[in-house]
């Protein structure tokens, strides 16, 4: 009798891409999916560096903070690689990483590769996409169905490799034995619906069957992008046994956490305000979109570079270019991206190239 697979990962270039810029690692307790961007093989370099770095730096226990640190190091490694001439300027990658121990799952995520959990026969998303359409759905300006066919559905608002510091989202959850964790690139969730994913995860005999069936379904639906899926069966207990700190350590940790939380709440309020705003500015001759507000508060920078667009400042009307040199504020990233669309329309057709 063959053993049922407790985890499995599978990646396919798909039908319309010449190479696979997705990368993944499935080495219990760590599971990582990265979807590279940049084209001309640079995406492969970025996603490869991401999974290698996270694999090397990730904690062996479900520690969300340490997993986020590993993702930060992956970001630094990609930024350094660009500076050293490995890969290309503008290359980047998404990353969604999980550490699973027994029933505990921690996730760290940047970009639009997702984690899902099948719990009690129901599928739910465990992460939030850092994508333009994801923002619009959350703001209620776009429906899920509209998002699936939106021309800008592949525009991500956060990626590794674009700036020195990246904001990493983390999630902690406790699953039940028999639940299934799925991590996948948009080549899967962009090609088939959540309902279809749920059906496959419910019906699969084990993790290997699940990833094979999911990837096949994405290919059957068109396979327009690289597609990657990892499925992990949630067990009763960690094979190594959970390592639990003693009660005294927990108590001390509580008070330290409470004090830190008070300070963090104050800073967070400021960040919360800034992170909802956006602005556009000319940088190295290109129009660049920042989340946040220009300038610093008490020495703290409150902006994060979201996207370096392909619009060159010198192709824009002089008055627009001048405004961009000083910075053009926007209500939020969605409005900033709409402005980018307007600037693009101002540029003569042959002065710009559009990404596929």
Which residues here bind Mg ion, judged by CB under 5 A? Answer: 35, 185-187, 225
3-state SS assignment for residue 253: helix
- The string of DSSP letters for 187-227 reads HHHTTS-HHHHHHHHHH-SSHHHHHHHHHHHHHHTT--S-E
The tokens 């964790």 sit on which residue? 181
The distance of closest approach from Cβ of residue 22 to Mg ion in the complex, given in angstroms and rounded to an integer, is 6
Which of 187/292 has CB closer to Mg ion?
187
The distance of closest approach from Cβ of residue 13 to Mg ion in the complex, given in angstroms and rounded to an integer, is 11
The distance of closest approach from Cβ of residue 185 to Mg ion in the complex, given in angstroms and rounded to an integer, is 5
Which residues are 95's β-sheet partners? Answer: 110
Tokens (6 digits) for 270:
């400021």
Omega before residue 244 within 30° of 0, cis: no
Which of 21/233 has CB closer to Mg ion?
21
The distance of closest approach from Cβ of residue 35 to Mg ion in the complex, given in angstroms and rounded to an integer, is 4
Residues 6+ apart with CB under 8 A from 144: 137
The distance of closest approach from Cβ of residue 43 to Mg ion in the complex, given in angstroms and rounded to an integer, is 9
Q: Which has the closest alpha carbon to 127: 107, 102, 101, 153?
A: 107
Which of 75/185 has CB closer to Mg ion?
185
Q: Which has the closest alpha carbon to 138: 172, 106, 173, 112?
A: 112
Which of 97/311 has CB closer to Mg ion?
97
Which of 60/193 has CB closer to Mg ion?
193
């Amino acid at each position: 009798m063959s053993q049922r697979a407790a985890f499995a990962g599978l990646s396919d270039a798909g039908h319309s891409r010449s190479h696979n810029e997705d990368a993944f690692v499935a080495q219990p307790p760590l599971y990582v999916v990265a979807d590279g961007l940049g084209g001309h093989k640079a995406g492969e370099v970025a996603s490869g560096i991401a999974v290698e770095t996270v694999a090397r730096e990730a904690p062996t226990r479900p520690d969300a903070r340490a997993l986020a640190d590993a993702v930060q190091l992956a970001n630094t490694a990609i930024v350094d690689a660009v500076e050293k001439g490995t890969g290309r300027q503008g290359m980047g990658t998404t990353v969604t990483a999980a550490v699973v121990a027994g029933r505990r799952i921690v996730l760290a995520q940047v970009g639009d590769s997702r984690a899902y959990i099948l719990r009690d026969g129901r599928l739910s998303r465990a992460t939030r996409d850092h994508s333009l359409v994801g923002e619009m759905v959350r703001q209620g300006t776009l429906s899920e169905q509209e998002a699936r066919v939106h021309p800008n559905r592949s525009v991500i608002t956060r990626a590794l490799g674009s700036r020195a510091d990246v904001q990493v989202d983390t999630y902690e959850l406790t699953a039940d034995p028999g639940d299934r964790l799925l991590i996948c690139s948009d080549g899967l969730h962009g090609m088939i619906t959540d309902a279809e994913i749920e059906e496959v995860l419910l019906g699969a005999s084990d993790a290997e069957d699940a990833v094979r069936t999911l990837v096949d379904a994405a290919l059957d639906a068109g396979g327009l992008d690289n597609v990657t899926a990892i499925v992990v069966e949630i067990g009763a207990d960690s094979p190594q046994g959970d390592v639990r700190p003693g009660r005294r350590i927990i108590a001390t940790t509580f008070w330290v956490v409470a004090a830190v939380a008070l300070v963090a709440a104050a800073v967070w309020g400021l960040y919360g305000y800034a992170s909802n705003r956006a602005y556009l500015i000319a940088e190295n001759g290109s129009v660049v979109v920042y989340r946040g507000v220009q300038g610093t508060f008490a020495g703290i920078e409150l902006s994060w570079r979201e996207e370096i667009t392909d619009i060159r400042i010198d192709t824009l009307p002089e008055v627009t270019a001048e405004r961009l040199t000083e910075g053009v504020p926007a209500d939020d990233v969605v409005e900033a991206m709409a402005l980018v669309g307007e600037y693009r329309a101002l540029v003569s057709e042959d002065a710009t190239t559009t990404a596929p």
